[in-house]
Amino acid sequence: MTAAPSWARGTKPSIEENAQEEMRQDVAAGRQHLRGVGHLPLDPESARFELTEEERANRGSRPLSRRWRTLNRLDEEVDRITQRHAEATGRLTAAEEALNRAPESDARTLAAWLSGGEKGDRPSATVYEKTRDRDAAQLLVAAVAVELDQKLEQRLQHVAKHREKMLADARKDIDQAREALSSKVNELAPLRQQLADAREVLLWAASYPGHLDQFGFPDAVALGLREPVERTLSTRAQIAYVSLIAALEEDMAALASAFSDEQKRQLGHPDEATPISTAMWNDDPRAAAWRKQELERARTGRSASTARTLTRLPTRQETSAREHAPFSSREVCAPTTERGFRRAPSRRLPGRVNGCG
**Domain spans, the chain:** 38-161, 180-289
Q: Which amino acid is at 96?
A: E
The yes-or-no verdict on residue 92 having pLDDT over 90 is yes
As a whole number, mean pLDDT of residues 327-333 equals 42
Tell me the three state secondary structure of residue 335: coil
Instruction: Give 112-150 pLDDT, tens digit per residue.
Output: 888 888 888 888 888 888 999 999 999 999 999 999 999
Report how far residue 171's alpha carbon sits from residue 113's, in angstroms, rounded to the nearest whole number.
76
Q: Would you call 9 exposed, middle or buried from its count of C-beta atoms within 10 A (0-12, 13-18, 19+)?
A: exposed
Report how far residue 181's alpha carbon sits from residue 177's, in angstroms, rounded to the nearest whole number.
6
For 34-48, 148-162, 169-183, 290-304, which range has the lowest pLDDT when averaged over its residues?
Answer: 34-48
Q: How confident is the model at residue 351 (pLDDT cuts 50, 70, 90)?
A: very low
pLDDT score, position 283: 82
How large is the greatest C-alpha to C-alpha distance in the chain, in angstroms?
138
The yes-or-no verdict on residue 14 having pLDDT over 90 is no
Q: How many residues does the chain have?
A: 357
Alpha carbon dihedral 311, 312, 315, 321, in 10-degree steps, equals -10
Instruction: Give 239-274 pLDDT, tens digit per residue.
Output: 999 999 999 999 999 999 998 888 888 888 887 778
Higher pLDDT, 51 or 305: 51
As a whole number, mean pLDDT of residues 291-303 equals 81
The yes-or-no verdict on residue 16 having pLDDT over 70 is no
pLDDT score, position 182: 94
Q: How confident is the model at residue 310 (pLDDT cuts 50, 70, 90)?
A: very low
The yes-or-no verdict on residue 331 having pLDDT over 90 is no
Alpha-carbon torsion (64, 66, 71, 72), positive or negative: positive
Single out the residue of 289, 255, 286 nearest to residue 273, CA to CA. Answer: 286
pLDDT score, position 20: 67
Count of other CB atoms within 10 angstroms of residue 95: 20
Instruction: Give 198-237 pLDDT, tens digit per residue.
Output: 999 999 999 998 888 889 999 999 999 999 999 999 999 9
The yes-or-no verdict on residue 281 having pLDDT over 60 is yes
For 57-61, 77-81, 271-275, 323-327, which range has the lowest pLDDT when averaged over its residues?
Answer: 323-327
Higher pLDDT, 319 or 289: 289
Single out the residue of 210, 183, 213 nearest to residue 200, CA to CA. Answer: 213
pTM of the entire structure? 0.56
Provide DSSP, 105-163: HHHHHHHHHHHTTS-SSPPPPSHHHHHHHHHHHHHHHHHHHHHHHHHHHHHHHHHHHTH
Tell me the three state secondary structure of residue 268: coil
As a whole number, mean pLDDT of residues 40-64 equals 67
Percentage of residues in the chain with pLDDT exceeding 70? Answer: 71
What's the mean pLDDT when you consider all of the chain? Answer: 79
**What are the distances in angstroms from CA 181 to CA 174, 212, 305?**
10, 38, 45
As a whole number, mean pLDDT of residues 318-330 equals 51
As a whole number, mean pLDDT of residues 277-283 equals 81
Provide DSSP, 189-226: HHHHHHHHHHHHHHHHHHHTTS-----S-TTBGGGG-H
Higher pLDDT, 9 or 34: 9
Q: Left (φ > 0), alpha (ψ -120 to 50) or beta: where does 311 sit?
A: beta
As a whole number, mean pLDDT of residues 333-346 equals 43
- Neighbour-count burial for 181-194, b at 16+ CB within 10 Å, e otherwise: beeeeeeeeeeeee
pLDDT score, position 315: 55
